[in-house]
Amino acid sequence: AQQDQYDKLLKTPGGGENPYLIHQELGRVMTEAATVVRHNDDLARAYEQVCDLAERAKRCSLSDTGNWTNQNVVFTQSLRDMFPLAKTIVKGALQRDECRGAHYKPAFSMPHIEAEDPAERRRLAEEWCDRFEANNDKWLKSTIATLDGEEPVLTYEEVDTSLIAPRPRLYGLVGAEEIEQVWKERVNQRGAGTSGNGHPSGTKPTTAASN
């Protein structure tokens, strides 16, 4: 199969696009939309652009059609192999409406607690912890991608956190002390330690910390 692909690329008609320029465009699209900070409108636009680039890559021309150490044909095949991964990255990011690790969507970020009134700070900390648990219920999952033709199909798999229970990561967050206090109280009130799934013992299972 690899040899067949190689031979087919060598027979590509001239007059098509430059694979190196398409590679540059793909890099630009992914860098603009799919690094750490992500916005849904940018991701949706990027997915369309990646699909368009994938079609254009099928019509690339080779500057070298020789059989001996042809780096041009290897590069072009590698370029085409990048598109299923690029589509998966962008589609997975678009569907995941949360902040976790190196996936940060400002529209779904966890809020700071800036109120001065102690009772209000306490109320906001309770809401923060509720949202933290709800986010984990929905999104503490591994993304599993398969291909249907040329399109990625995404499913999700629960993360096993039985050995290390997740907890809020609060570095740099305004109001972190109040949130930490509420979380510790929930753990203590509902049982010794946590249930191993991110909720204090006796609460609904979940599976990991979010940023």
| Confidence band of 154 (pLDDT split at 50, 70, 90) | very high
Residue 34 C-alpha from the chain's centroid: 8
> Residue written as tokens 């699909």?
51
pLDDT in tens, 128-148: 999 999 999 999 999 999 999
DSSP code for 150: T
Q: Which residue has the higher pLDDT, 43 or 58?
A: 43
pLDDT, residue 2, reads: 66
97 SS3 class: coil
Residue 165: per-residue pLDDT = 76
To the nearest 10°, the Cα dihedral for 196, 199, 204, 205? -40
Q: What is the pLDDT of residues 98-110, one digit of tens each?
A: 999 899 999 999 9
Helices (H), the chain: 2-10, 19-33, 40-57, 71-95, 118-139, 176-190
Q: How confident is the model at residue 13 (pLDDT cuts 50, 70, 90)?
A: low
* 111: pLDDT strictly greater than 90: yes
Q: Indicate the DSSP class of residue 110.
A: P
**Which token pair is 113?**
């607690």
Q: Mind listing the pLDDT tens digit for each residue in 44-85?
A: 999 999 999 999 999 988 876 667 777 888 888 899 999 999
Kindly report, residue by residue over 156-210, the tens digit of the pLDDT. Answer: 999 998 888 788 989 889 999 999 999 999 988 877 544 444 555 444 433 334 4
In the chain, which segments carry CATH 1.20.58.100?
2-95
Q: Which fold has domain 2-95?
A: Methane Monooxygenase Hydroxylase; Chain G, domain 1 (1.20.58)
